[in-house]
A and B are shown apart, each in its own frame.
Chain A
Amino acid sequence: SQQGEEDPQALSIQEGENATMNCSYKTSINNLQWYRQNSGRGLVHLILIRSNEREKHSGRLRVTLDTSKKSSSLLITASRAADTASYFCVTPAGGTSYGKLTFGQGTILTVHP
């Protein structure tokens, strides 16, 4: 079964706006990752946040992790049309490994020029 539930399932915004995607998971984890996937293409690793971290930044990306609520969020600031893709939160299948991964259902982001 899916570990991560993502919200919203689809998000449509205008270029320049911020996009926020949320993810909830069920079991304890030691890290959480976010990946993006352009339509019909491979995966691109965006960011990894460890369980002892609350927030992490990478360029226009900001990820938060709340282990007490078992949730994470991905914020993309000043979005661009090129950010159009599916975004997945990914957790270790066993909760504490870097091996088997469980993908959330994903958020389809569309950024209109």
Chain B
Amino acid sequence: GAVVSQHPSRVICKSGTSVKIECRSLDFQATTMFWYRQFPKQSLMLMATSNEGSKATYEQGVEKDKFLINHASLTLSTLTVTSAHPEDSSFYICSALTPGAREQFFGPGTRLTVL
């Protein structure tokens, strides 16, 4: 199957700093990618839809100024957690839709810990 990568896999940062997480579709072009957040022992919650060349669409309750999404190319979407706080510590997972939106592949996730 298609491969989606995320970088970094783990990141630890101090409170108040910004962290960028990359999501790449390695062998297909993805006009649409999604970002999910998963707190410990909970399910995945959709944060936003990332569309190549246009603004991201955020789910209700997700602060767009705090979670900046950029989808500048057909294979890369980035999520920047700005002014991170301990409550932003979570597992962030991206996914990418194949052309024609017939299949969706998930990245391996990024564990963010904010001290």
Q: Is the interface of B mostly helix, strand, loop or mixed?
A: strand
**Is A69 an interface residue when CB atoms closer than 8 A count as contact?**
no
Number of interface residues of A (CB under 8 A): 19
- B39, chain A: closest CB distance, angstroms: 12
B42, B45, B102: the one contacting A98 at CB < 8 Å is: B102
Residues in A with CB closer than 8 Å to B44 are 43, 88, 103
**Is A75 an interface residue when CB atoms closer than 8 A count as contact?**
no
A43, A100, A102, A106: the one contacting B106 at CB < 8 Å is: A43
**Is A61 an interface residue when CB atoms closer than 8 A count as contact?**
no
| Contacts known (A40-B91, A42-B93, A42-B106); A101 close to B34, Cβ less than 8 A | yes
**Of B13-21, B72-80, B81-89, B107-115, which binds chain A?**
B107-115
Number of interface residues of B (CB under 8 A): 24
Residues in A with CB closer than 8 Å to B49 are 99-100
Q: Is the CB of A99 within 8 A of B93?
A: no
**Is A41 an interface residue when CB atoms closer than 8 A count as contact?**
yes
A29–B111 alpha-carbon span in the complex (Å): 32
**Is A2 an interface residue when CB atoms closer than 8 A count as contact?**
yes
- B69, chain A: closest CB distance, angstroms: 14
**Is A22 an interface residue when CB atoms closer than 8 A count as contact?**
no
**Is A51 an interface residue when CB atoms closer than 8 A count as contact?**
no
Within 8 A of B (CB), among A49-103: 88, 93, 97-103
**Is A105 an interface residue when CB atoms closer than 8 A count as contact?**
yes
Residues in B with CB closer than 8 Å to A41 are 108-109
**Is B65 an interface residue when CB atoms closer than 8 A count as contact?**
no
Interface residues of B (CB under 8 A from A): 1, 32, 34, 36, 42-46, 49, 91, 93, 95, 97, 101-109, 111
Interface residues of A (CB under 8 A from B): 2, 35, 40-43, 45, 88, 93, 97-106
Having A88-B43, A101-B34, one finds 6 other A-B pairs with CB under 8 Å, namely: A41-B109, A45-B106, A98-B97, A99-B97, A100-B46, A103-B45
Can you report 24 A-B residue pairs in the complex whose CB atoms are below 8 A from each other? Answer: A2-B43, A40-B91, A41-B108, A41-B109, A42-B106, A43-B44, A43-B93, A43-B106, A45-B105, A88-B43, A88-B44, A93-B46, A98-B101, A98-B104, A99-B49, A99-B97, A99-B101, A101-B104, A102-B46, A103-B36, A103-B43, A103-B44, A103-B45, A106-B43
